Amino acid sequence: MTDGLPALSFSISSLTLIGMLAVITYTAYGMSVMPLNLIKGTRSVAYERLENTEDIDEVEHQIENLKSK
């Protein structure tokens, strides 16, 4: 009746070890790439320029509304 217990224990331990190695590798890769992504950034210059132009247009529109009052 207990003949399968060591095999089951070994299987569970092996899967746990493989899972932990995968988690450690995934975390190590993520932590080493994160600073590079923060330095590199994700926005392009064209997007930033468009966003600033839209902000300027909005402020100018608000100024015109205040002057008309």
Please tell me what DSSP assigns to residue 43: -
- CA distances to 14, 62, 63 from 53, in Å: 58, 14, 15
Average pLDDT over the chain, rounded to whole? 88
pTM of the model: 0.50
CA gap 16, 19 in Å, rounded? 5
CA gap 3, 66 in Å, rounded? 86
Residue 47's pLDDT band (cuts 50, 70, 90): confident
Residue 40's pLDDT band (cuts 50, 70, 90): confident
Range in 4-8, 31-35, 62-66 the model is least confident about: 31-35
